[in-house]
Amino acid sequence: MIKIVKKTVLITFLCCAFFKVNGQTKVTFSNINSDTKISKHIYGHFAEHLGRCIYGGFYVGEDSNIPNTNGVRNDVIKALKELKVPNLRWPGGCFADTYHWKDGVGPKDQRPSMVNKWWGDVVEDNSFGTHDFLNLCEVLEAEPYLAANVGSSTVKEFTEYIQYVTRENGVPMSDYRIENGRKEPWKVKYWGVGNEMWGCGGNMTPEHYANIYRQYATFMTDWTNSDGFYRIASGANVADYNWTEVLMREIPKNLIEGVALHSYSFVEWDKKGSATDFDEAQYFSTMQTALKMDELIQKHTQIMDKYDPEKKVDLIVDEWGGWYQVEEGTNPGFLYQQNTMRDAMIAGTTLNIFNNWAKRVKMANLAQTINVLQAVILTEDEKMLLTPTYHVMKMYNVHHDATLLPISFDAPNYEFNGETLPAVSISASKDKNGAAHISLVNIDSKKENEVVIDVEGLKIKEISGQILKSNNLQDHNTFNNPNNITPSKFKDFKLKKGQLTLTLPPFSVVVIEGK
């Protein structure tokens, strides 16, 4: 987790040619023959041993009265499969650099307990370990993303972990895995080499971490990386551009496939405010930090382009989302918060930004999946609900591995107290069957916005759509009313002579499909 200082927001758009016609926002496609793919891994998730994310969220144990498969809640499995989760990052976060994997394998009644020093100082029994996580990923058909311990571990422990997980047989660690009940190795491609090394991972300088990274990455595989591992360096804290500069300069390109970036959205770091009881000033401020993601990616990408013009190293935003005060009466170290239409605005605009930067951004991980920060699922004993953020991500899964359709438009302003933000956010893609999908967000808290999209070149004849909206920004789903906010059919559009005109209500998310 991170601490940042909010700065003045600067929003930039790809392929920017700007148009406004009669007060309407005019959107054009600048290249309908684009070959840029929107990686499905942009829609990844993050499950840390933090609060009730793992224990009580994912995992209730095999003996629980809550229906489960090998201890993992069946309702959670069903919801995440419907979300088409492409990858899942585990076990942290800050927790990763205190986690020793051997404590979480073998007979569960023989595993040592540990103190989760970062999150609540609680004692964990290691009953959810590597086998549980990787088997869960297989059930979800999601790629596992293992964040390995660098801060308090050794190269030997790291390389043994890789052998335990991925080696078929013939070495002590593969034999150990087979002894623990798993004959076939798992397919684990994505490996994080530490987490937030500038902070909880060891308070390192970028120069020191670059050397540590080189050491770990070297021993992960052979000289040619024939195992096909995708090695992700612990990247910058928000606008720490020097961190990215040092890593890109000092790490040979044959040792790295991705560099991470972390950025959260909030009112002020020391005054985050309530997740549900907030005013427009707090909403506007939160959206300023959320929309700053575009500037962050632009500037980190400029540095990466200087050292890697061929774009062989990807930008991985493996922690993002809204961060507020915990719900009243809950453990402050558990980071449990509700999820409102404000979070739907964060999700929709951020995912649009990632889509539009798809040439460099190849993976992202929302923090976090269940019961922590901007979660897609909340649980309470046997109860479970899906948040507005869940619904946005499900609406957007039409973009998974689709071809980016770059767009050009001039966003209208959302004005508050003399400051402005772009009110409308848009991204678009074409799937393998030729259907076009356009995702639009209007963050304006009071005004609807009319958008005119020139779709003539796409040869669209049929239009359908979904919308997520509510009466108040503070609205959210509760265990007593879990369907208070759900998507509905979008009808406020017309298609005439290749022009698609639609009206976006205040603080709404719309996804259009054109065939």
What residues are labeled active site?
196, 319
Phi, psi dihedrals of residue 347, rounded to the nearest 5°: -65, -50
Nearest to 469 by CA among 507, 437, 439: 507
Nearest to 15 by CA among 3, 27, 2: 27
What is the edge-to-edge ordering of all strands in the sheet holding 403-404? 403-404, 424-430, 436-442, 508-514, 463-468, 488-489
Q: In whole angstroms, what is the distance from residue 283 CA to residue 443 CA?
A: 10
Single-letter amino acid, residue 197: M
Would you state the structure tokens that stand for residue 80, as one six-digit string? Answer: 């995440």
- Specify the DSSP class assigned to residue 363: E
Q: In whole angstroms, what is the distance from residue 501 CA to residue 345 CA?
A: 21
Q: Locate the DSSP E strands across 171-244.
A: 190-193, 230-237
Q: Is the peptide bond before 91 cis (omega within 30 degrees of 0)?
A: yes
Go through 360-399 and write b for each residue having 16 or more CB atoms within 10 A of its CB, e for each that does not.
bbbbbbbbbbbbbbbbbbbbeeeebbbbbbbbbbbbbbbb
Q: Which residue has the tokens 């050794």?
A: 154
Q: Locate the DSSP E strands across 333-462.
A: 361-367, 377-380, 383-386, 403-404, 407-408, 413-416, 419-422, 424-430, 436-442, 449-454
* In contact, 246 and 197? CB cutoff 8 Å: no
Q: Is 351 helix (H, G, I), strand (E, B) or coil?
A: helix
In angstroms, what CA-CA distances link 243 with 240, 377, 495? 6, 33, 48
Query: How many whole angstroms from its chain centre is CA 305?
Result: 23
In angstroms, what CA-CA distances link 136 with 80, 144, 159, 191, 427? 11, 9, 23, 17, 31
Q: Is the peptide bond before 322 cis (omega within 30 degrees of 0)?
A: no
> Exposure of 505 by Cβ count < 10 A (0-12 exposed, 13-18 middle, 19+ buried)?
middle
* In contact, 194 and 148? CB cutoff 8 Å: yes
